[in-house]
């Protein structure tokens, strides 16, 4: 299935049905009077987060969604049938944006969460509503209210506990494949990963979700390479795992490039906790590893770990460090929900 994380959708709620002008006419009934019913309410347009979806590909082939209009009122005080609602089923983690792509209408982060996008118009009053002591036979009825028409954007941000970042060919896909059942494409050329991949990673009997996004290059925030459009998928992560290619010509410069792109992207990514790991150490000797670790610390990395996704060396230690940050973030979230102060190291 093709991965799609952004879709433009046109929606329209249903219009209310018009009221009815009718009079009761029955044999042997002397005072019939007005009996026109009200129009039915127009259908609403909803969005609902559901499990089992991980892409917006359904909205690539259908962009227009219209709810049914309400039916008109009828005689004998019969109200028209209401229009059927339309429900847009989206993956968990979908943001709904206004037409300007900046105003957030809703952020659906839990299964079953629903939001009303366009309310249907109310049905018009029949002439029975206008009967009074001075107007015994009203001959007017209200039309139904029109529906709401708007354009929205659906933007998917994957739900993951940890996010893999780094330059192309840093070994992110190899690391994800070695630590989970995910099977991303792996090859010896840049930009092998063209869309995000999710994997469930296990360590010490516990599991967490890790997201691998396409590699960043210098100028990604300006659209170079694949750009930074996939960085939204790691905005919700509690920790970033920054893999640095130990076989690169200048790993410290590679680290600075990725950090600069995170800062240019914004949305708090540069302030997120991160675990820096020097990858592909199976191709390096100990002295070179220590030298490159010192250069990474000089470039701003607080603590540098060592691993090899190909051989599995040091991978468990890296996963333990990532999981420790995730647990700390969950504890802080629980304290914030309870109104307590967050944990301080």
19 is in an annotated binding site: no
- The reply to whether 2 sits in an annotated binding site is no
> Regarding predicted confidence, which is higher, 330 or 201?
201
- In CATH, which superfamily holds the domain spanning 1-156? GTP1/OBG domain (2.70.210.12)
CATH topology (fold) of 162-338: Rossmann fold (3.40.50)
Is 23 marked within a binding site? no
Closest CA to 282 of 307, 316, 305: 307
pLDDT in tens, 145-174: 999 999 999 999 888 889 899 888 888 888
Q: Which residue has the tokens 């339309």?
A: 86
Mean pLDDT across the chain, nearest whole number? 87
Domain boundaries, the chain: 1-156, 162-338
**Residue 127, marked binder:** no
| Residue 105, marked binder | no
Q: Residue 46's pLDDT is what?
A: 96
202 is in an annotated binding site: no
> Looking at residues 250-259, what average pLDDT do you find?
91
Tell me: is residue 215 an annotated ligand-binding position. Answer: yes
Q: Is 144 annotated as a binding residue?
A: no
Sequence-ordered alpha helix ranges (H) in 26-170 = 58-61
Tell me if 121 is assigned to a ligand binding site: no
Q: What is the pLDDT of residue 38?
A: 95
Residue 35 in marked binding region: no
Distances (CA, A) of 28 to 31, 77, 128, 131, 136: 9, 19, 21, 22, 19
CB burial readout 100-137, b (16+ within 10 A) else e: eeeeeebbbeeeebeeebbbbbbbbbbbbbbeeeeeee
Say whether 162-338 and 1-156 share the same fold.
Answer: no
Has 195 been labeled as part of a binding site?
Answer: yes
pLDDT score for 223: 67
Tens digit of pLDDT for each residue in 118-135?
999 999 999 999 999 899
Q: Is 280 annotated as a binding residue?
A: yes
Is 171 annotated in a binding site? The answer is yes
Q: Is 308 annotated as a binding residue?
A: yes
Distance CA 47, CA 80 (A): 26
282 assigned to a ligand binding site: yes
Give the pLDDT confidence score for residue 221 in this predicted structure: 65
Percent of the chain whose predicted confidence (pLDDT) is above 90: 45
Does 111 appear as a known binding residue? no
80 is in an annotated binding site: no
- 169 assigned binding-site residue: yes
272 labelled binding-site residue: no
Q: What is the pLDDT of residues 16-57, one digit of tens each?
A: 999 999 998 888 877 788 999 999 999 999 999 998 888 898
* Tens of pLDDT, residues 54-97: 889 899 889 999 999 999 999 999 999 999 999 999 999 999 99
* pLDDT, position 225: 63
264 is annotated as contributing to ligand binding: no
Question: To 10 degrees, the CA torsion angle through 302, 259, 230, 265?
Answer: 120
Q: Is 213 annotated as a binding residue?
A: yes
Q: Give pLDDT, residue 43.
A: 96
């Amino acid at each position: 299935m093709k991965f799609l994380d952004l879709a433009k959708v046109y929606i329209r709620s249903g219009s209310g049905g018009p009221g009815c002008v009718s009079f009761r006419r029955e044999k042997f009934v002397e005072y019939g009077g007005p009996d026109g019913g009200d129009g039915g309410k127009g259908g609403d347009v909803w969005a609902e987060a559901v499990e089992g979806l991980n892409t917006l590909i359904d909205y690539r082939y259908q962009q227009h969604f219209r709810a049914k209009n309400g039916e008109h009122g009828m005689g004998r005080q019969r109200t028209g049938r209401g229009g059927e609602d339309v429900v847009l089923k989206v993956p968990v983690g979908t943001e709904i944006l206004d037409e300007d792509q900046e105003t957030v209408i809703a952020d659906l982060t839990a299964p079953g969460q629903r939001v009303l996008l366009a309310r249907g118009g109310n049905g018009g009053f029949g002439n029975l509503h206008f009967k009074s002591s001075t107007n015994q036979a009203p001959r007017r009825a209200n039309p139904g209210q029109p529906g709401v028409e708007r354009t929205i954007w659906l933007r998917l941000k994957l739900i993951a506990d940890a996010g893999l970042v780094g330059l192309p060919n840093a070994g992110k896909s190899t690391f994800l494949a070695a630590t989970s059942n995910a099977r991303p494409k792996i090859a010896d050329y840049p930009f092998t990963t063209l869309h995000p991949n999710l994997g469930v990673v296990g360590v010490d009997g516990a599991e967490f979700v890790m997201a691998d996004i396409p590699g960043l290059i210098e100028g990604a925030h300006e659209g170079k390479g694949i750009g930074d459009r996939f960085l939204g998928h790691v905005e919700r992560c509690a920790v970033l795992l920054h893999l640095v290619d130990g076989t690169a010509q200048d790993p410290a410069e590679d680290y600075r490039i990725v950090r600069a792109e995170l800062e240019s992207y914004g949305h708090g990514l540069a302030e997120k906790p991160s675990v820096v790991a020097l990858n592909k150490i199976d191709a390096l000797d100990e002295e070179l590893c220590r030298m490159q670790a010192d250069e990474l610390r000089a470039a701003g990395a607080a603590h540098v770990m060592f691993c090899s996704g190909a051989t599995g060396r040091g991978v468990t230690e890296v996963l333990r460090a990532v999981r420790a940050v995730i647990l700390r973030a969950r504890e802080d979230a629980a304290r914030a929900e309870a109104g307590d102060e967050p944990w301080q190291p």
